[in-house]
Amino acid sequence: MSFMICAYADESGDKSIYSMSALLGKLSDFVELGRRWRRALQEESIPEFHAAKLENHRRPYDGSSFDADRRAYLQRKFIGLITELPIWGFATFVEIEALATNDTALARFMSHREPYTFSFRMAVEVMALEVDGYRVKHEPIAFVFDQQKQYEGKANEIYDYLSTDGNWPLAYRLGSISFESRLHYVELQAADTWAYESRKFATDTAINKNPERWQMRLFKHAGRFNVVGYTKETLPRLIASLERER
């Protein structure tokens, strides 16, 4: 039986790293996630769930009712909505300093080396490989990315190259692509929640070697959420492998 595979993706970044994170699953499971998410927003009387705003006491979470206990409660509730369903999470990141240091070497293999476009391509390729690894018959992925007007042109250019122009062997896994608002597609709010936690993990734990946040442990406990990326130490290894393949 065929079914539609969807990926809802969002970017996140700080001074150290840039990441692209996505939730991947069947359309029917995302429909159910959207239904549960909207109900939870109504139950909690909030217009949206935005992880960074909640943690940093920004509107609409800046009132006295959003103390530490309530913020933790909301995080557990909305992360739980994601992990309760058979939805997978993938996050790709790159250390910004590593990109700058290795720009000349990377230029021999790729034209788009900005943090957003590098992470975007990584995320698309990782999910296509994952779906193909599960041998899901002939099903392409419908990608929905959070709106980023300044990057959408370059993202579409990379996507078109992979799906039609570049003779990439997994091009048949790349279906439609769109850029939408998280206010209209609450599944993007879920993607943002995963993006925030995976980016915090990349910076705080993978690079700075600090302990994992309890929020990240909730995702990891589900066993379906993975973070991969390139740092100053590992990006040269990618370049070396690309040189061997030429």
What is the pLDDT, as a whole number, of residue 126? 93
pLDDT digits (tens, 9 = 90+) for 51-81: 999 999 998 998 888 999 999 999 999 999 9
Region 117-142: mean pLDDT is 86
What is the pLDDT, as a whole number, of residue 166? 65
Region 141-160: mean pLDDT is 90
pLDDT digits (tens, 9 = 90+) for 92-103: 999 999 999 999
State which amino acid sits at residue 44. E
> Cα separation of 98 and 237, whole Å?
12
Domain residue spans in the chain? 5-27+87-245
Sign of the dihedral through C-alpha 138, 151, 192, 144:
negative
**DSSP structure class, residue 109:** T
Q: What percent of the chain has pLDDT over 90?
A: 78
Confidence of residue 137 (pLDDT cuts 50, 70, 90): low
Say whether 22 sits in a helix, a strand or coil. strand
Contacts for 164 with CB less than 8 Å, ≥ 6 apart: 171
> Cα separation of 232 and 102, whole Å?
9
Q: Tell me if 158 sits within 8 A of 55, measured CB to CB.
A: no
> Cα separation of 143 and 178, whole Å?
6
What is the pLDDT, as a whole number, of residue 156? 92
Region 3-25: mean pLDDT is 93
Average model confidence (pLDDT) for the chain?
Answer: 92
> Cα separation of 162 and 166, whole Å?
5
Q: Is the model's pTM score more than 0.85?
A: yes
**Higher per-residue confidence, 161 vs 41:** 41
What is the pLDDT, as a whole number, of residue 1? 36
Q: What are phi and psi of 219, to 5 degrees?
A: -65, -45
CATH 3.30.420 fits 5-27+87-245, yes or no: yes
Q: How far is CA 26 from the centre of its chain?
A: 16
Q: What DSSP string describes 126-152?
A: HHHHHHHHTT-TTPPEEEEEE--TTTH
Provide the edge-to-edge strand list for the sheet that holds 225-230: 174-180, 141-146, 5-13, 17-26, 88-95, 225-230
